[in-house]
Structure 1
């Protein structure tokens, strides 16, 4: 059972006791992502994520790493467009140590100017690595096309132009705005103890910062076009369409539609493009849902000379789906697959911790597994087909091809 406790300072602790597991996963979720950045701050949320690993008053960066290596645990973090997460997974008898180290990083990171300068170069290398990987870069370019005038379309990593602006003072000012108690959730799952929850409350439940109300401006979707030349062995194509927010009542209907479209090996895209035509090795679709909007995207990679055919086949397949509709059996199969994926995720303390933390942070509520299964079961072919309009308009398009093929 998932339990939520709100500390006196407004921070929430979400716990799920799973006594038959021997591990504990803990995550600190902060509602601060690249969407919260001004153009001049682009990338600072991700940069802060890096800096929290660079040493505290008590521990050097090396000591933080050794704390987990010597107990066989893992510690990491990631930044998304709407939140940041710092997480660890350890054996249950090391859980208190994991919480203590994460709390030390969260509250006592030194933000040494020398380390800030060094980390700028590290992030620059990360940006370069992403740009070198065309199958990643094509998605990044798609977001810029879809939301050219909104922070949600900006790169999470930032740019070479914005990184030099991240000083110790700028970092502190950003953290004062967003790293606040009511903006933070600590999620823990596994073989937890009452003592562990008390420790989390003692470490996280008393800090105070001025809370500021967050006002999001709804991003306008743009059906634009991006074309990029790059030294690559393969062409890469992304198509983007408007999707749904996390709270949309039709979100599970869209999940089934995405699954049918390109979310599995039996999907329309996979079967037609890879199995029937041999046009691509990698072909799939995915839906990204956020607090007030979402995006449905399709990706395919193929030989440069086959790129026009790949795009035409995808668009024709979407048209056929809209005109001919769906089959009852494939909708039922898609629902069963979604339920299977959900239940298989229950076997990991990390996935339970992550799911609980994100639900509390982004939705402020928790749906139990029986409720979600019921919502998936309630999906009907008529409801799924009613969403076909989402893929009927002009898409945003991002293409990366080799210089040789485009010349």
Structure 2
């Protein structure tokens, strides 16, 4: 196992938090600038503005145009990218270790000096509208948005991250400057990096690139879940896509690994109960799985499958049955050992990716305010018991809180 060297520094009184992991033997670095703002921090008329900003900052700053930004690392063999989620926006890059200062300077420029030129915003607006339409035209993507909206109801945490055509068409330059002025402050940022690096050097450059501007974290409250619901959205397509599930535990829940083991047994791969019962034994569906999404104060559990409408009734009955059996009987000793080995293997293999390490650093800092090393995580997984998994299984089949969403003919 590669040696882990973790360090954390809060830069100044109101500056960003820097978390790094030095991994000897590498020649590259993965870097991320994380802003604690996402879809859940938007009011209804702002839906999609976090994602719009994420796109718009790449269109030019006070010192770089869009080509300069794209060329800054690409010309050196590296890359820049970004994503927006329900509670965070991340700008990240990968480069050779000797180019880390360039990557950090470019990302700092994006976040602190965007131009939001109206002509560029008009073009990027069209791109985002195409992205929204792409989701609408892809039912295996669309259904997960619809399911989140069903589970969390009117709470912003379940709103579509991309926004709607109406909200996206309404955003102005002033809206973007007002939004970034409120949220894109150094004290609301985390800078994480993993690979061949020196923590002190990273902190020194961050001190030069970022000022200290006081900011309060987003005023968030834990979302309430909507009552049990069955919804169908008509689409003239060949298959019916289905999500069935409910709210679940958060990232910081002390028993989250019990839940992850239960999810692995139920729908976490080709040997899972859902895959074996629905696809292998009965041939009712091609794609079938379950997943858990965790946020700082809530979570989501869902099963998913896609099948011909004429087989939907039988497939749904099997899915409900498997959820009920899991709730009533839990899992076996053999399944527990297998799920633990699967989760451990995925963790260790994933740790070979510096991007994964960089992301884990940021999420641990954001949600836990502490670092959970690989060895600590492996111990957490190993400590899972049959009794703990049984308790977690009780949350996966809540009669009063289950939501079923279908998209299809």
**TM-score interval for Structure 1 and Structure 2 normalised by the shorter chain:** over 0.9
Please name the residue that 2:207 is paired with: 201
C-alpha displacement at 1:303, in angstroms? 1.3
Please name the residue that 1:259 is paired with: 264
Cα distance change of structure 1 residues 319 and 187 upon mapping to structure 2, 3 Å threshold: same
Structure 1 segments unaligned to the other structure (5+ residues): 403-407
Q: Is the 8 A contact 1:238 1:299 kept in 2?
A: yes
C-alpha displacement at 1:217, in angstroms? 4.1
TM-score (norm 1): 0.95
Establish whether residue 17 from structure 1 lines up as the match of residue 4 from structure 2. no
Please name the residue that 2:104 is paired with: 99
Q: 1:6-62 CA deviation, whole Å, 9 max, x = no partner?
A: 011231001111121111010001110000000011100000000111111221111
Establish whether residue 356 from structure 1 lines up as the match of residue 370 from structure 2. no
Please name the residue that 2:408 is paired with: 401
Please name the residue that 1:405 is paired with: none
C-alpha displacement at 1:320, in angstroms? 2.1
Q: Is the 8 A contact 2:136 2:142 kept in 1?
A: yes
Give the 3-state SS of the residue equivalent to 1:391 in structure 2.
coil
The size of the alignment, in residue pairs, is 401
Please name the residue that 2:296 is paired with: 291
Structure 1 residues 4-403: aligned runs within 5 Å: 4-8=8-12, 9-193=14-198, 194-204=200-210, 206-211=211-216, 214-394=219-399, 395-402=402-409
CA distance in 2, matches of 1:212, 1:187: 18
CA distance in 1, matches of 2:258, 2:230: 28
Q: Is the 8 A contact 2:73 2:80 kept in 1?
A: yes
TM-score (norm 2): 0.95
Q: Which moved more, 1:193-202 or 1:85-94?
A: 193-202
CA distance in 2, matches of 1:324, 1:189: 42
Q: Is the 8 A contact 1:230 1:401 kept in 2?
A: yes
C-alpha displacement at 1:199, in angstroms? 1.3
Q: Is the 8 A contact 2:240 2:406 kept in 1?
A: yes
Structure 2 segments unaligned to the other structure (5+ residues): none
Give the 3-state SS of the residue equivalent to 1:26 in structure 2.
strand
Q: 1:259-281 CA deviation, whole Å, 9 max, x = no partner?
A: 01101221111111111111111
CA distance in 1, matches of 2:90, 2:64: 20
Give the 3-state SS of the residue equivalent to 1:162 in structure 2.
helix
Cα distance change of structure 1 residues 286 and 126 upon mapping to structure 2, 3 Å threshold: same
Q: Is the 8 A contact 2:152 2:223 kept in 1?
A: no
* Aligned residues: CA RMSD: 1.4
